[in-house]
Amino acid sequence: MKKALKILGIVFLLFIVAVISIPFLFKDTIKDKVRYIVNEHVNAKVDFADLDISLLRSFPQASVVIDEFSIINNAPFEGDTLAYAKKIALDMSIKELFKTAKDEISVQKVIIDEANIAVKTDVSGNSNIDIAKETKETSEPEPKEEEGVFTFALEHYEINNSKILYKDDVSEIFLEMTALNHSGDGSVSGQKVLLDTKTNTGASFGMGDTKYLNNNKLQLDAQIELDLENQKYTFKENKALINRLPLEFAGFVQLFDDYTDIDLNFKTPTSDFKNFLAIIPEVYAKNLDGVTTSGDFSIDGMIKGRSDDTYIPKMDIKILSHNASFKYPDLPKGVSNINIDTNIKNETGRVDDTYVKIGNLTFKIDQDAFAAKGSLKNLTKNMIVDMIIKGSLNLANLDKAYPLELEQELNGIVKADINTHFDMQSLEKEQYQNIKTSGTVNISKFTYASPDVPNEIKIESANVNFNPQTIVLDKMTATTGRSDISATGTINNLMGFLFAKQDLKGNFDVNSNVFAVDDFMVSSEEDEEEQTKDEIAKTATEDETMRIPSFIDATLNFDTKKVFYDNLELNNTKGTVVIKEETAYLKNVTSSIFDGNIALNGNVSTKEKAPTFDMALDLSKIDITKSFNDLDLIKGLAPIAKALTGDLSSQIKLNGNLNENLTPILTSLKGNALAEILNAQVSTTKTPFLANLDSKLNFINIDQLNLKDIKTNLSFDDGQINVKPFEFDVEGIKVKAGGSHSFDQNMKYDINLQVPAKYLGDEVGSLMSQLNDQEANTMTVGLPIGISGNFANPKINLNAGDAVKELTQQLISKQKNKLKGEIVGKGEEALTKLLGGSKTPSDSSKTKQNSTEESIKNTAKNILGGFLNRKKKKDTVKN
């Protein structure tokens, strides 16, 4: 007995040692098995973080756990993740661990956690699941050896908290399942496997531009019989739940080499109208608890036939409801008289022959009734739409009858009576002669309020008439803020805009008594208070920049009595704006402003990230003071205008960038201008520049200047204004000025004054007395003035040295000429008398001439020095 117990103890000990050691002994074998399958069969990068084997976790079976398993595609999907799983757990018999890498391994249980699978087909038909290596062909057949693979005799499998994506760019089919939990238990009966499965997921499904499911909740309990030998999969007892819509279905799918045979039928188990509300996604349907309904709703359909490159299964799906109604318990109104008679059908198996027939669709809210009927044919290629829509709808009743969460408040009454027939190809090719639409739509008392618009928009009335060729806006009257709008016109392609993603094309005549631009601009002051400077700048450039709508291709002829833009008021504004490709082209726009007129031609574009403009402006007889106070452009172009009162005309050609409010960025300007001062008075007290200059020039009283008909050319380059030298006359003094300044008010100008000698008066003494009246009236001296610094703190440099030199040379030249004349006319005696009676004429004449030149120079210096520094006389010297 003791011996038997001892042997049993030894066996038990060996068993414990085996249970602990076998996982370590065979771990590398399993790793080799996985790597062997990958290297031999897969054209992709397959990796995993770790592989663990345990005999205790699923005793008496062995458990293999693979962590961080991934399959990364090679070209043409290089870098894409085909599949990833955080953990894959496999249960198998312990004897499977003793097999070699080439032997088959049978798995009884699989659990996959947090998987992410993305199956894609590109426009060229390449699929990222085609990762199996091609078998090399040889000229002579060789004996085929059985290659080792995993085989499955599954008793149970699970996929937990996973995601599956299927995207086919050829057929434009999109299917996504999120939060997927799927499990199945299997049993073998002869050659067939019976799976009992349970599935919960959120599903999104679309084809082309149409989205049929949008994260709708799906629940499926299905018994599936797998006939693996004949590749036939039969659905026995199956119950599905789409959102809250219950469906029962049965049938089979069988795979053949070149086609698939499908035979499925489905129906709603009950006909309660709540089935209809259950189709609507829960985020919109809200809580159906307490909702009272009447009437019925049912879906009954079949899909049967072959599916291959030519055919699809035939189908007949009926959706019916008769005299139904519903009312939410917390809402004041209900929806009644609901009738639905819709049929989705294909009788030939050709995809182009699938059509939707809407035999009757009606509903009623209060006294407002809506009805529609028609058909959609040739769905997959050139869809043909034939619809009749008639009814009246009070928009304010929508959220009183149905729990909508509108971002904006809607009010108004829409009445429609429309009959339309068109095909999508005609819309896309703008063959409007093939579009047959007639009827009317009337909108009245419509209001729209949203955070996206600063003021509530009110449309008092709008009448639209649909004709076979065009859509006519008979009249629309609307207000928002201070602005009022009255418009008429034509829309050329409303159907193309609604159904074919075309730009909205049309021509409109717009009239307004008051149009305030800020009524259409959203203020960001509240948001900016909570943002940093960098965030504000980023928001302004990326999110808040005003944009011209990209979908509009229209011409607007407008006539507005008053336009308010920023701090400007424009009167009697008329012209044409053509909007196309995010650009507004202004043509022959005229307006009254600053007691004068302005004309504009050019464009404003928001097509690029930074908005731009290119504009020609013609300013005619505008008031200088008003324009300087209200127009930043005038302040920048001519800061000196601050000291002027009078009229200005100018022709300006400018281009540059715009800020987020679509006003010019002055430092970006390029262009040129011709400016003309028609008549202006000067006030030196209004600018330090003129006040400083006035104090330096004692012979001119700048405050008494009258500037008239002065013209100059300007050019702009990245914030620098260059003024071409121009000439004008001030109180008998010829002035030439030119230079440049910037929008930050820094300047560099050169001014030259030709000062008449007559203004010097008695300061010249006997020298000037030798000149006759004509000489005294015509003799001038050039006085150069350099101006730098900025307009608030100017630096004025009077170059008196050059003026002294010029005056000296002129006087010397005059005296020399006179001296020579007298020598020739009167001889030696006259020369002696002129020079002071020297007894040695030849030597003394030279001495006297040198003495005279020196005397003239000193006198000129004294004259000009006193002339520029003496106190200003009260009265200006006259001719």
- 208 lies in the same domain as 264: no
User: Given a cut of 50, is residue 25 above it in pLDDT?
Assistant: no
Domain encompassing residue 87:
24-130+149-170
Helix 800-835 × helix 841-869 angle, to 10° = 140
- 200 lies in the same domain as 327: no
Determine the average pLDDT of the residues in 708-732: 80
- 305 lies in the same domain as 226: no
Examine residue 768 and state whether it is found in any structural domain, yes or no.
no
pLDDT at 179: 93
pLDDT at 91: 83
Determine the average pLDDT of the residues in 8-29: 45
pLDDT at 60: 67
- 55 lies in the same domain as 162: yes
- 263 lies in the same domain as 162: no
For the chain, the helix, strand and coil percentages under 3-state DSSP, each to the nearest 5: 25, 50, 25
Determine the average pLDDT of the residues in 166-191: 82
Report DSSP letters for 534-552, one per residue.
HHHHHHHHHTSS----TTE
Which position has the higher pLDDT, 506 or 806? Answer: 506
pLDDT at 574: 92
Do the beta carbons of residue 702 and residue 684 sit within 8 Å?
yes
Identify the helix (H) or strand (E) that includes residue 83. Answer: strand 81-92
pLDDT at 532: 43
Examine residue 728 and state whether it is found in any structural domain, yes or no.
yes
Choose the final residue of a domain: 242, 259, 288: 242
Indicate the SS3 state at residue 199. Answer: strand
Examine residue 798 and state whether it is found in any structural domain, yes or no.
no
User: Given a cut of 60, is residue 184 above it in pLDDT?
Assistant: yes
pLDDT at 807: 65
Q: Which two tokens stand for residue 114?
A: 């947090």
Q: Tally the residues of the chain.
A: 879
- 258 lies in the same domain as 166: no
pLDDT at 674: 85
Question: Sign of the C-alpha dihedral, residues 861, 866, 872, 877?
Answer: negative
Please, which residues bridge with residue 787 across strands? 749, 796
Residue % of the chain over a pLDDT of 90: 13
Lowest-pLDDT choice from 269-283, 371-385, 575-589:
269-283
Q: Please write the tens of the pLDDT for every residue from 454-497.
A: 788 888 988 988 876 678 888 889 898 888 989 898 887 766 67
Examine residue 392 and state whether it is found in any structural domain, yes or no.
no
Choose the final residue of a domain: 385, 402, 430: 385
Interatomic CA distance for residues 185 and 843, integer angstroms? 140
pLDDT at 683: 65
Q: Please write the tens of the pLDDT for every residue from 774-786.
A: 666 677 777 788 8
Q: Please write the tens of the pLDDT for every residue from 776-831.
A: 667 777 778 888 888 778 888 876 666 666 666 776 676 667 666 655 555 455 44
- 299 lies in the same domain as 236: no
- 210 lies in the same domain as 264: no
Determine the average pLDDT of the residues in 270-281: 76
Interatomic CA distance for residues 89 and 131, integer angstroms? 23
Examine residue 865 and state whether it is found in any structural domain, yes or no.
no
Q: Please write the tens of the pLDDT for every residue from 616-625.
A: 989 888 877 7
Number of domains in the chain: 4
Which position has the higher pLDDT, 544 or 257? Answer: 257
Examine residue 859 and state whether it is found in any structural domain, yes or no.
no
Interatomic CA distance for residues 601 and 604, integer angstroms? 10
pLDDT at 822: 56
Examine residue 491 and state whether it is found in any structural domain, yes or no.
no
pLDDT at 552: 81
Interatomic CA distance for residues 241 and 838, integer angstroms? 136
- How confident is the prediction for the chain on average, in pLDDT? 76
Please, which residues bridge with residue 187 across strands? 194
Q: Which two tokens stand for residue 399?
A: 């959220």
pLDDT at 162: 92
Which position has the higher pLDDT, 101 or 228? Answer: 228
Do the beta carbons of residue 227 and residue 255 sit within 8 Å?
no
pLDDT at 178: 93
- 210 lies in the same domain as 334: no
Choose the final residue of a domain: 724, 745, 766: 745
Q: Please write the tens of the pLDDT for every residue from 822-864.
A: 555 554 554 444 444 444 444 544 554 555 556 555 555 555 5
Interatomic CA distance for residues 294 and 336, integer angstroms? 9
- 236 lies in the same domain as 259: no
- 212 lies in the same domain as 339: no
Residue listed under structure tokens 């004897």: 95
Instruction: pLDDT band for 188, please (50, 70, 90 cuts).
Output: low
Do the beta carbons of residue 646 and residue 678 sit within 8 Å?
yes
pLDDT at 847: 52
Q: What is the 3-state secondary structure (H, E, C) of 254-283?
A: EECCCCEEEEEEEECCCCECHHHHHHCCHH
pLDDT at 491: 81
- 50 lies in the same domain as 106: yes
Please, which residues bridge with residue 56 across strands? none
Interatomic CA distance for residues 702 and 706, integer angstroms? 9
User: Given a cut of 90, is residue 339 above it in pLDDT?
Assistant: yes
Q: Which two tokens stand for residue 471?
A: 């859509």
Do the beta carbons of residue 347 and residue 305 sit within 8 Å?
no
Examine residue 726 and state whether it is found in any structural domain, yes or no.
yes
Instruction: pLDDT band for 285, please (50, 70, 90 cuts).
Output: low
Question: How many of the other CB atoms lie within 10 Å of CB of 380?
Answer: 15
Q: Which two tokens stand for residue 56?
A: 């205790």
